[in-house]
């Protein structure tokens, strides 16, 4: 960057400011006549600009939705990202299997816990936590 780049930018901004100021303060008739002369039909232009605006609204709404989703995911994440001891998870799965509080019959996969991989056990354990089963730590601490 040179100071000359800066001078050039400042000079152009000053000119743009002066011209924009004149544009904003010109009468409707004057500004419409100028536009018609150099660019075409202002009504057609207004239709295009309204379409551009509606596109912007959709993009802004999508951005808001994505931010809301990211926020919700960030709230959920800590529960599932707590390190889980695999032995504890297997024990908890076994205890749930034998627990009388489980009213729904367990799936075949859950019943054969000893044949499941660690990844499957962890995934099943997390699913159970999401369904409301108390975590292994709470049981150990006597909270449940």
Partner 1 sequence: MDLGQAVVIRSCSEIADAIRTFTPADWVRLKLTAKKYAFRRNFSPDDLLQEAMRRALEEKDGRKCPTHIDVVKFLAEAMRSIADGEAEKVENQMTFIPVANHSGQQDGEIDLVDSRPNPEETFDAKQNEATITKALCAPFDDDPQAREIVEGILAGFNGEELRKLTSLDKTAYDSKRKLIRRRIDKIYPKDLSHDIK
Binding-site ranges for partner 1 (CB under 8 A): 1-2, 4-20, 22-24, 26, 28, 30-32, 34-35, 38-39, 42-43, 45-46, 49-50, 52-53, 55-57, 59-60, 63-64, 67
Nearest to partner 1 of 36, 140 (CB atom)? 36
**Rounded distance, CA 31 to CA 33, Å?**
5
* CB 107 to partner 1: min, Å: 43
For the bound state, the minimum distance from the C-beta of residue 25 to partner 1, rounded and expressed in Å, comes to 9
User: For residues 99 and 86, what is the distance between their CA atoms, to the nearest angstrom?
Assistant: 19
Q: Which residues are CB-neighbours of 82 under 8 A, at least 6 positions away?
A: 135
Taking the least distance from each CB to partner 1, the nearer of 56 and 99 is 56
Q: How far is the CB of 67 from partner 1 (least distance, A)?
A: 7
> What is each CA distance from 70 to 25, 63, 65, 75, 77, in whole angstroms?
44, 10, 9, 9, 10
Eight-state DSSP code of residue 104:
S
Cβ burial of 82 (10 Å; 0-12, 13-18, 19+) is: exposed
Residue 77 beta carbon to partner 1: minimum distance, rounded to whole angstroms = 20
Q: Which is nearer to partner 1, 8 or 120 (CB)?
A: 8
- Cβ proximity to partner 1: between 39 and 127 the closer is 39
């Amino acid at each position: 960057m040179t100071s000359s780049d800066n001078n050039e930018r400042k000079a152009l901004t000053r000119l743009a400011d002066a011209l924009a100021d004149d544009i904003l303060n010109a009468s409707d008739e004057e500004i419409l006549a100028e536009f018609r002369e150099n660019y075409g039909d202002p009504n057609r232009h207004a239709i295009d600009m309204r379409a551009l605006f509606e596109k912007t609204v959709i993009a802004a709404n999508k951005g808001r939705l994505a931010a809301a989703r990211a926020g919700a995911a960030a709230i959920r994440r800590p529960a599932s990202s707590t390190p889980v001891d695999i032995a504890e998870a297997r024990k908890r799965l076994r205890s749930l299997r034998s627990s009388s509080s489980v009213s729904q019959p367990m799936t075949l996969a859950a019943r054969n816990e000893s044949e499941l991989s660690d990844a499957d056990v962890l995934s099943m354990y997390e699913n159970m936590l999401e369904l409301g089963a108390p975590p292994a730590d709470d049981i150990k601490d006597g909270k449940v």
